[in-house]
């Protein structure tokens, strides 16, 4: 899925953030969930 709407982006397993056509960051929701469960704050 490709979206610009953060209300739907949370449903994805992975987010890729672009700026001027370049990847500036990537988030892996599964990894973030695992880190949160381990007691780390990744928000």
Whether 18 is covered by a domain: the verdict is: yes
- The pLDDT score that the predictor gives to residue 1 is 76
- The pLDDT score that the predictor gives to residue 40 is 65
- The pLDDT score that the predictor gives to residue 35 is 64
Inform me whether the pLDDT recorded for 33 exceeds 70: no
Whether 14 is covered by a domain: the verdict is: yes
Residue 14 structural domain: 6-37
Q: Whole-model pTM?
A: 0.51
| DSSP secondary structure of 1-43 | ---S-HHHHTTSSEEEEEETTEEEEEEEHHHHHHHHHTT----
**Domain total for the chain?**
1
Residue 18: both structure tokens together? 């672009």
Whether 30 is covered by a domain: the verdict is: yes
Residue scoring higher pLDDT (4 or 38): 4
């Amino acid at each position: 899925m490709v979206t610009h709407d953060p209300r739907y982006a949370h449903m994805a397993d992975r987010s890729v953030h672009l700026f001027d056509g370049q990847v500036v960051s990537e988030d892996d929701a599964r990894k973030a969930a695992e880190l949160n469960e381990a007691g780390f704050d990744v928000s």
